[in-house]
Amino acid sequence: MSEAAGRQVAEHTHCPYCALQCAMIVTPADGGPYVEPVWFPTNRGGLCRKGWTSALLLDHPERITTPLIRAGGELVPCDWDTALDRVVDGIRRAQESGGPDGVAVFGGGGLTNEKAYQLGKFTRLALGSRLIDYNGRWCMSSAAAASNRSFGVDRGLPFPVSDLTSARSVLLIGANPADTMPPFLQHLDTVANAGGLVVADPRLTATARRAIDGGGVHLRLRPGTDAALLLGLLHLVVVVGKYDPDYIAARTTGFDEAWGQAAAWLPERTERVTGVSVAQLERTVELLAAARDADAGAYVLTARGAEQHADGTDVVGAAIALALALGLPGRARAGYGTITGQGNGQGGREHGQKADQLPGYRSITDPDARAHVAGVWGVDPAEIPGAGVSAFELLDSLGSAGGPTAMLLHASNPVVSAPDADRVCERLSALDTLVVADFLLSETAALADVVLPVPQWAEEEGTLTNLEGRVIRRRRSVTPPEGARDELWIWHELARRLDRGPERFPVDPREVFDELARASTGGKADYSAITWDRLDAGEAVHWPCGADSPDGTPRLFTERFATEDGRARFCVGPVRPPAEMPDAEFPLLGTTGRVLSHYQSGAQTRRIAELDAAEPVAWVQVHPVVAAGAGLADGDTARVVSRRGAVQAQVRFDEDMRTDTVFLPFHFAGAGRANIMTLPELDPVSRMPEFKVCAVRIEAL
């Protein structure tokens, strides 16, 4: 091992998967790199099976190590000059016919802060295009929209995750961390053992089982009734006198309007609509109020199960309203938060790869924000394009009349992860030029005209921001393959070949971070007082960290909220049914989610032998009675059919499943893509698709 490698492995880095960002050391070795866990506040020395096996991808035999271009219908190797020339030719053709917006860009929540920032800047300055969005739109957008409306700022957890360790009551809505981020569950051990864990989920997940085993509550709601459940809980909080009128008067606005929505949701009506008993509703309110009154730790947390709906912003708004009525946000040992999913899901949405945002979580339509960022970039504000469109809308416009004819796609696999996935596949295939930067040939990369090989997580330097707003350092531990090129270098080279000011796009990530910090100055997500030196010295720095808060802000809202008047707002809308209800042709509710062994589209985890062996094929979880009605036995292959297409999956019996619901993981490829069946009905505020509910039927293959 070289001296440099020896220095590198003496410092920890962080897992490439979820936003918990567990700490680890990656050690180069003759048999391939391996990982060792490191104690860190989020993982406390633990890793899940995905983290333990993460280094196996670094030298995986399917690793892309040379650029590929399409020739004669096949992807063939080429040199970098040829590949980049092909990309530039495609960009020029697209913009000659369609103007600057002839080229679109799609990013990802796994990019470092530096790359998320530079990708947004490259799109807007080098390409002049307004058309950029990213896969985080399908992860955190509803929670972000609701948090911005109620609190004036969006940070997943506005308190350190370790605060949950001593909680005595936690309501988890649509979250299954036992499978999605197992080290998180240790922060809930105390509350689970005390009988104070409440899990709202249509399925009896491993997390729901943990709650029940400890004496807590599983609220097994009907899919798509999350808002009704939360308004029913809010109703009970008020009518049984568990709300906090002093807190509401001193720190909030809009309570009367919220009560106008919740007043109609009597416990019996809530039970009838959601399937959750009145007794369970009452028990939930009792647990939260008792923990708050004892100053023993009371929290309301949401995740994708609550957010991935066409009314996701209103669902999260109702969850926040419940927390506000109880007087939790901004109080010590209490609060509301949302569990961020992707590795850099928080930082990835703060610095400019989202259609409507500029760095520092600034609005792209705000003249002052545009002027500030333009000053950092050294351009006239008029040179920064306006807002683009959301992720699905962007993908759905590709190759259509007046739509983009070229796309640069980074760190995402929408062929598997997008709703109405077959439709998205058709739109990608309609492009004149699709360029994908990846380190494996994902299902989306396989459609590309140009594939650019890039480094993996342990081969790059940068920063990320975890689920609690803590900015952390990603350190290079191993050398990338000789043929891989960093995205910062790629964008610099493309800008040079396009004659669009390559000096604006430095390749040194530290230099990019310093510029990002300046661009974020004064923004909601202010990084201006954060430096790599501070992070390398081991400081725990949570944003905002600027002139007014140079030490960082681990806990938000202790004195005021980030709204103009310093008050949190109750933002509650009317309950709306799912966009697609069951009928005689499609009598069941289909819902999707994640499993322990896989991550997101599965492009990485399906290539790890241990993880693939644990979950090798797509499956559908169904009650035996429902399966029998379709003539299916446990282990049979079934078709799950929606109005958009059919998914092929192995039947798994589960007597704890609701008889009106089937569940499919969304990690699998080909005919097993669960998102073939999901519909792209969009939340009117966040533009989140309706991932969690669609009408389906199940039948023998």
Residues 256-300 pLDDT 10s: 999 999 999 999 999 999 999 999 999 999 999 999 999 999 999
pLDDT exceeds 80 at position 6: no
Residue 409 to residues 134, 139, 439, 448, Cα–Cα distance (Å): 9, 17, 13, 9
Pairing status of strand 68-71 against strand 450-453: antiparallel
* DSSP one-letter string for 352-392: S-STTEETTTEETT-HHHHHHHHHHHTS-GGGS------HH
DSSP 123: I
DSSP state of 126: I
Give the count of beta carbons closer than 10 Å to the beta carbon of residue 499. 8
Say if residue 10's pLDDT is above 80. no
pLDDT band at 30 (very low <50, low <70, confident <90, very high): confident
* pLDDT the model gives residue 530: 98
Tally of CB atoms within 10 A around 241: 8
pLDDT digits (tens, 9 = 90+) for 362-397: 999 999 999 999 999 999 999 999 999 999 999 999
Beta pairing class for 23-27 and 13-14:
antiparallel
Alpha helix positions (H), 122-262 = 141-151, 177-180, 189-193, 206-213, 226-239, 245-251, 255-262
pLDDT of residue 308 exceeding 80, the answer is yes
Question: Which H or E run contains 592?
Answer: strand 588-593
Categorize the per-residue pLDDT at 31 as very low, low, confident or very high, splitting at 50, 70 and 90. Answer: confident
Placement of tokens 């969304």 in the chain = 666
Residue 466 near residue 19, CB atoms below 8 Å = yes
For residue 88, what pLDDT is reported? 98
Can you tell me the distance from the alpha carbon of 649 to that of 664, in angstroms, rounded to the nearest whole number? 8
Q: For residue 17, which amino acid is it?
A: Y
Specify the amino acid at residue 552. Answer: G
**pLDDT score, position 5:** 34
pLDDT in tens, 498-539: 999 999 999 999 999 999 999 999 999 999 999 999 999 999
Q: Which two tokens stand for residue 470?
A: 């803590």
In this model, does residue 173 exceed pLDDT 50?
A: yes
Q: Would you place residue 626 in the very low, low, confident or very high pLDDT band (cuts 50, 70, 90)?
A: very high
CATH of domain 68-139+344-454+486-520: 3.40.50.740
Task: State the DSSP string of 440-485.
Answer: S--TTGGG-SEEEE---GGG--EEEE-TTSEEEEE---SPPPTT--
3 — pLDDT class (breaks 50, 70, 90)? very low
Cα separation of 663 and 342, whole Å?
21
pLDDT digits (tens, 9 = 90+) for 428-457: 999 999 999 999 999 999 999 999 999 999
Mean pLDDT confidence for 236-259: 98
Per-domain residue ranges of the chain? 3-57, 68-139+344-454+486-520, 141-339, 588-700
Percent of the chain with pLDDT over 90: 97
Query: What is the average per-residue pLDDT within 181-209?
Result: 98
Q: Which residues are CB-contacts of 71 (< 8 A; sequence separation ≥ 6)?
A: none
Reduced to 3 states, what is the DSSP secondary structure of residue 515?
helix
The pLDDT assigned to 640 comes to: 98
Q: What average pLDDT does range 77-86 have in this prediction?
A: 98
| Average pLDDT of the chain to the nearest whole number | 96
| Residue 691 to residue 368: CA distance in whole angstroms | 36
Kindly list the distances between the CA atom of residue 509 and the CA atoms of 6, 58, 463, in Å, as whole numbers in the listed order: 22, 21, 9
Question: Rounded to an integer, what distance in angstroms lies between the CA atom of residue 394 and that of residue 399?
Answer: 10
Q: And the tokens for 688? A: 């989140």
The angle subtended at Cα 406 by Cα 691 and Cα 84, nearest 5°, is: 120
Share of the chain above pLDDT 70, in %: 99
SS3 assignment, position 571: coil
- Report CA torsion sign: 203, 615, 22, 152: negative
Q: pLDDT digit string (tens) for 102-142?
A: 999 999 999 999 999 999 999 999 999 999 999 999 999 99
Count CB neighbours of 181 within 10 A. 28
Q: Is the separation of the CB atoms in 459 and 58 below 8 Å?
A: yes
What pLDDT was estimated at residue 41?
95
Amino acid at 669: A
> Phi and psi (nearest 5°) for 363?
-75, 135
Among candidate residues 453, 457, 462, the one with its CA nearest the CA of residue 482: 453
Please answer whether residues 109 and 139 qualify as being in contact, where contact means their C-beta atoms are separated by less than 8 angstroms: yes
Residue among 173, 161, 180, 177 at smallest CA distance from 44: 161
Of the CA atoms within 13 Å of residue 235, those in its CB half-sphere come to 20
Using CB atoms within 10 Å of the CB of residue 467, give its burial: 0 to 12 exposed, 13 to 18 middle, 19+ buried. buried
User: Mean pLDDT, to the nearest integer, of 408-427?
Assistant: 97
Whether 8 shows a pLDDT value over 50: the answer reads no
Q: 141-339 is classed in which CATH architecture? A: 3-Layer(aba) Sandwich (3.40)
User: pTM of the entire structure?
Assistant: 0.96
Q: 293: which residues sit within 8 A by CB, 6+ positions away? A: none
In one letter, which amino acid is 371?
A: A
Quote the CA–CA distance of 428 and 101 in Å, as a whole number.
Answer: 16
Task: Give Cβ neighbours of residue 143 (< 8 Å, ≥ 6 apart).
Answer: 154, 156, 302, 307, 312, 316, 338
Topology, domain 588-700: Barwin-like endoglucanases (2.40.40)
Between CA 283 and CA 270 the distance in angstroms is 14
Instruction: Return the ∠ at Cα 357 (arms to 356 and 362), rounded to 5°.
Output: 130
Q: What pLDDT does residue 262 have?
A: 98
CATH architecture of residue range(s) 3-57: Single Sheet (2.20)
Q: Is the dihedral of CA 18, 396, 688, 123 positive or negative?
A: positive
Report whether 229 contacts 239 (CB < 8 A): no
Q: How far apart are CA 229 and CA 604, in angstroms?
A: 36
Phi, psi of 227 (to 5 degrees): -65, -40
Query: 3-state class of 551 per DSSP?
Result: coil
